[in-house]
């Protein structure tokens, strides 16, 4: 079998559905990884013959992909923030929208030596990325699942990045203050789980099921943020569609406020940024006071 024949097989074998909008593109992606090549190589070499082992692996992947298994579970790798992360059925496959959370965290005014906490880290894609992009940050990550912790440790080791890993429920085993708290917790309402795309249903249920309204764990963390956050610290939470207002209400009940919302390409308020109520005014007051003292010192 050559490359062109393999791609024709992919188009015939893969059903066009929500998780596979373009079977040929999916075939290119899988074939490149089965052959240890790039997507560009696949496009440029239609007549190249596949080795027996490559063809066998590709056929196996096509069958499993058609049955709904996520492509990243097949290859065991997933790109995130221009890096490759190990993924298994024990962790949520990193999604592009989670890069919005990372981007917002990196744009935050946290100091060069900020203390950072990633809650429910899963594959550690958020924690590792923040630690690699901001080498001075002291990053800690929590995870309850022992199987997910194995994947997180493997990724941190592969990327040679120092992140403290703690097994606990949310942040129960840790003490603040943290300058930055990030979390991509389960936020799918239980009743919506059965309607998720086949690929998403292969993610661990504990990483998806957020309870009746999808916000059980999110609201528990929000209630704990006053204990965790530094006076001017920020918490960045990834949410599902239509959940931002409910989280804003929960924030107000815990003396917090929403200082920013980040929309994804679909117009959903995907990320909310929280801080202590009045923290911005306190920071401005301290800045003004510091500026005044600085001027007085030079009179």
Residue 49: which H helix or E strand, with range? none
More confident residue, 280 or 286: 280
pLDDT exceeds 90 at position 278 = no
DSSP assignment letter at 20: B
Q: In the prediction, which pLDDT does 290 show?
A: 45
More confident residue, 279 or 34: 34
pLDDT exceeds 70 at position 280 = no
| Averaged pLDDT, 131-152 | 98
pLDDT exceeds 60 at position 288 = no
- What pTM does this model have? 0.89
Mean pLDDT of the chain: 93
| Averaged pLDDT, 177-191 | 97
| Averaged pLDDT, 116-141 | 98
Identify which of 46, 53, 51 has the alpha carbon closest to the alpha carbon of residue 28.
46
pLDDT exceeds 50 at position 291 = no
Band of pLDDT at residue 112, cut at 50, 70 and 90: very high
> Could you tell me if 87 and 72 are in contact, meaning their C-beta atoms sit under 8 angstroms apart?
yes
pLDDT digits (tens, 9 = 90+) for 6-34: 999 999 999 999 889 999 999 999 999 99
Identify which of 151, 106, 99, 108 has the alpha carbon closest to the alpha carbon of residue 131.
106
| Averaged pLDDT, 60-84 | 95
| Averaged pLDDT, 210-219 | 97
Residue 62: which H helix or E strand, with range? helix 52-66
Q: In the prediction, which pLDDT does 247 show?
A: 98
Band of pLDDT at residue 71, cut at 50, 70 and 90: very high
Give the C-alpha separation, 280 to 153, whole Å: 36
| Averaged pLDDT, 214-234 | 98
Q: In the prediction, which pLDDT does 283 show?
A: 53
Q: Read out DSSP for 162-223?
A: --EEEESSTTTT----EEEEEE----B-GGGGGGS-HHHHTS-GGGTB--TTS-HHHHHHHH
pLDDT exceeds 80 at position 287 = no
Q: In the prediction, which pLDDT does 282 show?
A: 58
pLDDT exceeds 80 at position 292 = no
pLDDT exceeds 90 at position 279 = no
DSSP H helical ranges for 81-185 = 98-106, 125-133, 146-158
Q: What percent of the chain has pLDDT over 90?
A: 90
User: Tokens 């309204």 label which residue?
Assistant: 213
């Amino acid at each position: 079998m050559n490359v062109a024949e393999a791609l024709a097989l992919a188009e015939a074998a893969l059903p066009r559905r929500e998780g596979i909008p373009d079977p040929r593109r999916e075939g290119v992606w899988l074939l490149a990884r089965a052959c240890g090549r790039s997507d560009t190589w696949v496009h440029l070499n239609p007549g190249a013959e596949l080795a027996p082992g490559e063809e066998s692996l590709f056929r196996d992947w096509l069958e499993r992909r058609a049955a709904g298994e996520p492509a990243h579970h097949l290859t065991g790798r997933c790109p995130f923030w221009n890096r490759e992360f190990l993924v298994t059925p024990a962790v949520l496959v990193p999604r592009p929208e989670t890069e919005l959370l990372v981007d917002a965290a990196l744009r935050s005014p946290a100091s060069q030596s900020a203390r950072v906490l990633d809650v429910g880290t899963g594959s550690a894609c958020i924690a590792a990325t923040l630690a690699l992009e901001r080498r001075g940050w002291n990053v800690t990550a929590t995870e309850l699942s022992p199987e997910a912790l194995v994947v997180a440790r493997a990724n941190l080791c592969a990327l040679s990045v120092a992140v403290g890993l703690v097994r606990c429920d949310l942040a129960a085993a840790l003490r603040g203050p943290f300058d930055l708290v990030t979390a991509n917790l389960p936020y799918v309402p239980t009743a919506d789980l059965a309607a998720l795309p086949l690929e998403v249903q292969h993610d661990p249920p504990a990483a998806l099921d957020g309870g009746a309204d999808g916000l059980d764990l999110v609201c528990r963390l929000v209630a704990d943020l006053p204990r965790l956050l530094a006076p001017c610290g920020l918490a960045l939470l990834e949410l599902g569609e239509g959940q931002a207002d409910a989280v804003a209400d929960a924030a107000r009940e815990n003396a917090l406020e929403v200082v920013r919302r980040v929309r994804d390409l679909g117009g959903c308020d995907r990320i909310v940024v929280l801080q202590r109520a009045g923290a911005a005014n306190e920071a401005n007051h301290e800045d003004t006071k510091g500026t005044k003292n600085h001027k007085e010192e030079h009179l």
